Structure 1
Amino acid sequence: MEMHDLCAIAAREPHCVLATAVKVEGHAYRKQGVSMLLTEEGILYGSISPGCLESDLQDRVVRVLDSQQLEFVEYDMRPEDDLSWGETIGCGGLIIVLIEPVCGELRSILSHMHTYFQSGSAVELTRSFYNHYSRIRYEIKLAEDAEDAERQTVLRHSLVAIHPSGSAIVASVSGENTPPRESLSEVNCWGIPQQISAQYAPKPRLIIVGAGNDVIPVARLGKSAGFRVVVADWRETLCTAERFPDVELVCGFPHEIMPVLDIQSGDYILLMSHQFPREREFLELLEGRSYAYLGLMGSRTRTARLLNDLPPLKHLHSPVGLTIGADGPEEIAISIAAELIVCKRAATAAERRDVQRGIRHATDGHRASGG
């Protein structure tokens, strides 16, 4: 689950904590900087481990919410002879998790971050620790404006970890029966810096032109894969919230929807309407625009006709989807989602080209066969 999602969820969950892996050494399920939300009612949003740590984190939620105080928690699963984790061990690394009550200034920060994400802006969040890690200051700024002082937007807030003694609880957990240790010096022993920054990108948009039945599983998997899904079609009876729940819908013909979509360089586009004239019109209107991905559903013969006399199109994937032997709408949707993930994970244009050289595409848009 992306930070984009967590910020939105935090707005509707009145009693929750934010858990973030601030240090990771060795093998771990997720990377340093990943976060999740845990509620007082026991609901988990996102994950830090494959299930090894979440139950212990959940046990700390009520205390953190009651004290309104942050906690640092150590999970050291490196010793091979340590059997205290039982059958749930799945990482084998060292993970330091910061648990923060989502209230006051942090809730405000997450709300502002969500606003930036919705506008398509990347955000940099900085935590600065003071008074032996008992106080924390949050700062957010638009990541793309870091070099532009005039346009830079910065919000600074201070959050006091409220506790009568002014101390923070530091717990080292190596097994179910290990008691917590209250020691501020332990944070320094872990090498946690006094300032931690992380950049978060907004969800990339996946624009699907077409609202047929085969689009439904693609939209669903696109959401699960971390995309902000938009379905566009000129057929109002197909383009409905009942068919596409929690998806942005745009109704109209290509020349009508193009100004509304306002396609940007980070957008992913799929043509799945199966309507040749409309898709041809859309591609003509796409000329000169920047985008990250363009996938065309259909056979190579159909695609060749569709592209006839058009200037070369950037980031073209046709036939769409990876070759996984897919058959039927659900499996084809999986092959498309897999290709979208591959392209999303390619951090640079050069990496994307390298990845594409190794991708084997489906032989047509309806039956992806291996070989």
Structure 2
Amino acid sequence: MSNHVNHLLAQWLPLKNKHKWVLGFIFKTEGSCYRKAGAMMLFSDAGHQLGILSGGCLESDIVKKAQRVMTDGVSRTAVYDDEDEEDIAFKLGVGCGGVVHLALVPVNESNQYLSLDVVSKSLSNGKACEWRCAVDGTLGECTELEDHSATPRKAVLDNVDGKRMLSVLMLPPIHLLVVGGGYDATFMTKLASLQGYLVSLWDPRPAQARLEHFPEVNYLIEDPSTEGLRLHMGEHNIQAAVLMSHHREIDAKALQVLSKQSITYTAMLGPLHRKQEIMDLAGLGDTNFTQYFASPAGFDIGGELPEHIALSVIAQCHAVFHTKPTHLKR
């Protein structure tokens, strides 16, 4: 199960009025910490624990504190200091060496669910938004952003009229198109789904891309035509694509469609000489792709199995979207 905030909120939303809920969120960190400011987790009186706030080491203590908030409805803050021998974090052997400042606040109709329902709607619609929440849990706001090119940035803690407010940029899941429905593509779609990506799959060959082989895929594009592919991409805001059909004509046709879209990350399996063959067949050049185009696809991690290739490609895609170095390309 993905820990992407969109997935957490999608699980919480239909249950928001059926249980008592507490939101735990990190509003400040010092030193090395597993999760940073803006990380969130939802707890219910029915035992739901959605998300993660540490490597799993602090959650048992956080649950106890969340239960107290459920009982009396009073927000709380907690500090976990791994360097303090008297602190619970040290006794639990967390080992990161940092300090985590955590807020635990009720989430209910009386505080408008801290606008988490609005955040969920924005992300589900593929829109980025800015979520602002008071550390004391008295206020939550969500502002949808018009900028579709927003990139991840650190959460900001401000003091507004004497109230500590945390501002968090919420980005929708990356939507990845996989071209090719062979055995190796099953690893690509599984790993992408684990990262919280939305995944579309297209393969015009009737014997490929069988639904039973791709249970994690969000959209199986049934129209085998390139026009059907183009319409799907326009409707669903595809941001990344991996070409792995192992078929020259299919990859070339897909490239022609991709060249007319605004794609942040494009990758094509195969050696350099194959890239040139496919580009020539498609009548395209490197200038047709103004954003990141990796061919051969992925980082060189020394692997050759399908699961290794999927790992290298998804890691490279993640690096591109998070503006991290991509010089480890094959």
* TM-score computed with the length of structure 2 as normaliser: 0.82
- Pairing 1:116–2:122 present: yes
- Pairing 1:8–2:14 present: no
CA distance in structure 1 between the aligned counterparts of 2:235 and 2:299, rounded to whole angstroms:
25
Q: CA-to-partner distance for each residue in 1:236-281, whole Å, 9 max, x for gaps?
A: 5543443222422222222212112217887011111222212211
Q: CA-to-partner distance for each residue in 1:81-109, whole Å, 9 max, x for gaps?
A: 44753353222222111112332245472
Give 1:328's aligned residue: 305
Give 1:252's aligned residue: 223
- 50, 53, 57: which one aligns with 1:48: 53
CA distance in structure 2 between the aligned counterparts of 1:241 and 1:66, rounded to whole angstroms:
46
- Bigger-Rg structure (1/2): 1
Q: Where do 5+ consecutive residues of structure 2 fail to align?
A: 148-161
CA distance in structure 1 between the aligned counterparts of 2:123 and 2:99, rounded to whole angstroms:
31
**2:26 aligned partner, one-letter code:** A
Classify the secondary structure of the residue corresponding to 1:63: helix
CA distance in structure 2 between the aligned counterparts of 1:259 and 1:250, rounded to whole angstroms:
10
Contact residue 33 and residue 96 of structure 2 kept, 8 A: yes
Higher mean alpha-carbon deviation, 199-208 vs 41-50, is at 41-50
CA distance in structure 1 between the aligned counterparts of 2:107 and 2:202, rounded to whole angstroms:
36
Contact residue 114 and residue 139 of structure 2 kept, 8 A: no
Q: CA-to-partner distance for each residue in 1:125-159, whole Å, 9 max, x for gaps?
A: 11246xxx4x61221111337xxxxxxxxxxxxxx
Q: CA-to-partner distance for each residue in 1:35-75, whole Å, 9 max, x for gaps?
A: 12234344433222122311011113333223333221222
Give 1:341's aligned residue: 318
Count the aligned residue pairs. 302
CA distance in structure 1 between the aligned counterparts of 2:256 and 2:104, rounded to whole angstroms:
51
Classify the secondary structure of the residue corresponding to 2:251: helix
CA distance in structure 2 between the aligned counterparts of 1:240 and 1:276, rounded to whole angstroms:
21
Give 1:127's aligned residue: 133
The alpha-carbon distance between structure 1 residues 96 and 324, as it changes in their structure 2 partners (threshold 3 A), is same
Classify the secondary structure of the residue corresponding to 1:65: helix
Cα offset for 1:193?
A: 4.7
CA distance in structure 2 between the aligned counterparts of 1:333 and 1:87, rounded to whole angstroms:
35
The alpha-carbon distance between structure 1 residues 237 and 193, as it changes in their structure 2 partners (threshold 3 A), is farther
- 69, 75, 79: which one aligns with 1:70: 75
**1:319 aligned partner, one-letter code:** P
**Counterpart mapping for 1:198-277 below 5 A:** 198-235=168-205, 238-248=208-218, 249-253=220-224, 254-262=226-234, 267-277=239-249
- 266, 271, 275: which one aligns with 1:303: 275
The alpha-carbon distance between structure 1 residues 128 and 36, as it changes in their structure 2 partners (threshold 3 A), is closer
Classify the secondary structure of the residue corresponding to 2:299: coil
CA distance in structure 1 between the aligned counterparts of 2:191 and 2:167, rounded to whole angstroms:
31
CA distance in structure 1 between the aligned counterparts of 2:189 and 2:112, rounded to whole angstroms:
32
Give 2:256's aligned residue: 284
CA distance in structure 2 between the aligned counterparts of 1:33 and 1:23, rounded to whole angstroms:
8
- 72, 87, 94: which one aligns with 1:89: 94
Higher mean alpha-carbon deviation, 241-250 vs 99-108, is at 99-108
Contact residue 232 and residue 251 of structure 1 kept, 8 A: yes
Contact residue 107 and residue 114 of structure 2 kept, 8 A: no
Contact residue 143 and residue 199 of structure 1 kept, 8 A: no
CA distance in structure 2 between the aligned counterparts of 1:222 and 1:70, rounded to whole angstroms:
36
Cα offset for 1:294?
A: 0.6
* TM-score computed with the length of structure 1 as normaliser: 0.74
- Pairing 1:142–2:140 present: no
Contact residue 21 and residue 35 of structure 1 kept, 8 A: yes
CA distance in structure 2 between the aligned counterparts of 1:128 and 1:342, rounded to whole angstroms:
31
Cα offset for 1:32?
A: 1.0
CA distance in structure 1 between the aligned counterparts of 2:87 and 2:79, rounded to whole angstroms:
17
Matched-pair identity in % = 26
- Report the aligned-residue RMSD: 2.5
Cα offset for 1:120?
A: 1.4
Cα offset for 1:206?
A: 0.9
Q: CA-to-partner distance for each residue in 1:296-342, whole Å, 9 max, x for gaps?
A: 01222222100114132232101112111112212221122221222
CA distance in structure 1 between the aligned counterparts of 2:118 and 2:208, rounded to whole angstroms:
35
CA distance in structure 2 between the aligned counterparts of 1:340 and 1:231, rounded to whole angstroms:
17
**2:146 aligned partner, one-letter code:** E
Q: CA-to-partner distance for each residue in 1:224-245, whole Å, 9 max, x for gaps?
A: 2232222122245543443222
Contact residue 239 and residue 251 of structure 1 kept, 8 A: no
